[in-house]
C-alpha cells in the first residue's frame, strides 16, 4: 500500500483505506404484459400488467344531463397495472390498522327499501345485511378521499407508484378490446355468469333501484337472469374479462381519478391521463355500476358523477400502479 511521507515524523503512516462502495441495488425485472403479481402478499391487491393500446371511448348514449360522448379515440401510451379485483375489506382493514386512518361514517345505505344516511354506518357495518364486513367482499362506504389515502399508504408500503385508475384507463381495461355495451356483448340478460348485477336474485331480495327523470322517479326492470347473489358478492366469483379482470361490471361502483365533466370537453386527454381542473373538483367520475344499479348504468361507457366526500354502501374502488 502507498505510504504518505510526513516531514515532522520519523516514520510513515499508512493511508486510510478507501471505504468500499455500497452494493448497487439490483433493478427489478420489468413486469411483462399479462403478468399477474403482488407487491406485498395478502396485504396488497393482486395486480395484472396491461399493455398500452388504442380504443374508442364513450358512446352516443346517456341519460338526460349525463351524456357519454362525444365518442373519441384514446391511446394508452404506457403499460400499467390494474387490480385484478376490487379492494376488499381485509385489505382496507390492514391500511386502517397500519395508519390509524379514521374510517368514514355516515354512510348512505338502504333502510326499509329507501336510501338513507345511517350515522353509525362505516365500511365494516355498511348496512348491507348478508356478507356485511366479510373479509373477501369489496370495501364500501369509502369516499374518493379515503381511496386516495389508501393508494398513498400502498405506495409507501411497497415503494411503487400506486394510484386510482384514470377514467380512460378504466374504460380501456373494462372493454378489454370488445366494442359492445358490455365485454360479453350487448345484452344485460347475458350478464349473470360475468357480473353481479340487479337481477332476479336482487329483485327477490327486495332491492328496488329507482332513478330520477324530468317526469319523476322511475323504477327500473331487472335483468332476466340469476347471478346467485341478491346483494354484494365476494370478489372474483364471476368470469373475468379477456384482460383477466374481475367485477369490472357490477358488484360495486369504482372511483376513478378524473374530475367529471360532461360531455367530454375538447381538452379531455387522449393519452390515458386523467382530466383534472385547477382548484377544487366538484365531482369525481365513478364507473362500472353495482349489484343494484339500473342495468343500463352497468354499461361500460356509462359515467357516474359524485362528490369526493360521498360515502355510500355501493361505492368502492380498485387500484392502478405505474410500471417502470
Per-residue pLDDT reduced to its tens digit, 169-196 = 999 999 999 999 999 999 999 999 999 9
Q: Examine residue 20 and state whether it is found in any structural domain, yes or no.
A: no
Q: Examine residue 101 and state whether it is found in any structural domain, yes or no.
A: yes
Q: Examine residue 316 and state whether it is found in any structural domain, yes or no.
A: yes
State which residues of the chain have pLDDT below 50: 1-20, 22-27
Q: Give the number of domains in the chain.
A: 1
**pLDDT at residue 16 in the model:** 35
Q: Examine residue 4 and state whether it is found in any structural domain, yes or no.
A: no
CATH number of the domain to which 211 belongs: 3.90.1580.10
Q: Examine residue 89 and state whether it is found in any structural domain, yes or no.
A: yes
**Number of helices followed by number of strands (H, E) in the chain:** 4, 19
DSSP 219: E
- Pairing verdict, β 315-316 and 253-259: parallel
**271 touches 54 (CB < 8 A):** no
Supply the pTM of this predicted model. 0.89
Q: Examine residue 230 and state whether it is found in any structural domain, yes or no.
A: yes
Q: Examine residue 112 and state whether it is found in any structural domain, yes or no.
A: yes
**pLDDT at residue 8 in the model:** 37
d(CA 23, CA 167): 41
Q: Examine residue 223 and state whether it is found in any structural domain, yes or no.
A: yes
Helices (H), 72-143: 89-99
d(CA 321, CA 306): 23
Whole-number average pLDDT of the chain: 88
pLDDT in tens, 82-128: 999 999 999 999 999 999 999 999 999 887 777 899 999 999 999 76
177-209 burial, b at 16+ Cβ within 10 Å, e below that, comes to ebeebbbbeeebeebbebbbbbbebbbebebeb
Which residues form the domain of 123?
31-322
> Nearest CA to 88 among 249, 257, 235, 250?
235
Amino acid at each position: 500500500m502507498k505510504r504518505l511521507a510526513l516531514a515532522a515524523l520519523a516514520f510513515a503512516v499508512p493511508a486510510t483505506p478507501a471505504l468500499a462502495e455500497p452494493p448497487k441495488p439490483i433493478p427489478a425485472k420489468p413486469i411483462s404484459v399479462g403478468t399477474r403479481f403482488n407487491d406485498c402478499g395478502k396485504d396488497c391487491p393482486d395486480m395484472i400488467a396491461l399493455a398500452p393500446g388504442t380504443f374508442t371511448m364513450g358512446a352516443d348514449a346517456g341519460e338526460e344531463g349525463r351524456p357519454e360522448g362525444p365518442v373519441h379515440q384514446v391511446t394508452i401510451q404506457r403499460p400499467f397495472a390494474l387490480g385484478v379485483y376490487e379492494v376488499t375489506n381485509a385489505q382496507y382493514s390492514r391500511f386502517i390498522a397500519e395508519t390509524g386512518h379514521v374510517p368514514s361514517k355516515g354512510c348512505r345505505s338502504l333502510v326499509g327499501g329507501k336510501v338513507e344516511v345511517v350515522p353509525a354506518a362505516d365500511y365494516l357495518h355498511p348496512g348491507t345485511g348478508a356478507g356485511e364486513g366479510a373479509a373477501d367482499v369489496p370495501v364500501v362506504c369509502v369516499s374518493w378521499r379515503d381511496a386516495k389515502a389508501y393508494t398513498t399508504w400502498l405506495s409507501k408500503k411497497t415503494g411503487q407508484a400506486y394510484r386510482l385508475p384514470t377514467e380512460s384507463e378504466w374504460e380501456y381495461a373494462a372493454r378489454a378490446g370488445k366494442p359492445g355495451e358490455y365485454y360479453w356483448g350487448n345484452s344485460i340478460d347475458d350478464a349473470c355468469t360475468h357480473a353481479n348485477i340487479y337481477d332476479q336474485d336482487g329483485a327477490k331480495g327486495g332491492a328496488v333501484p329507482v332513478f330520477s327523470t324530468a317526469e319523476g322517479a322511475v323504477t327500473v326492470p331487472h335483468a332476466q337472469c340469476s347471478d346467485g347473489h341478491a346483494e354484494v358478492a365476494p370478489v372474483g366469483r364471476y368470469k373475468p374479462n379477456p384482460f383477466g379482470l374481475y367485477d369490472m361490471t357490477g358488484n360495486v361502483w369504482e372511483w376513478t381519478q378524473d374530475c367529471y365533466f360532461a360531455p367530454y370537453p375538447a381538452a379531455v386527454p387522449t393519452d390515458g391521463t386523467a382530466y383534472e381542473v385547477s382548484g377544487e373538483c366538484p365531482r369525481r367520475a365513478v364507473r362500472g355500476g353495482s349489484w343494484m344499479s339500473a342495468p343500463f348504468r352497468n354499461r361500460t361507457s356509462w359515467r357516474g358523477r359524485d362528490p369526493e366526500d360521498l360515502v355510500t354502501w355501493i361505492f368502492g374502488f380498485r387500484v392502478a400502479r405505474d410500471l417502470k
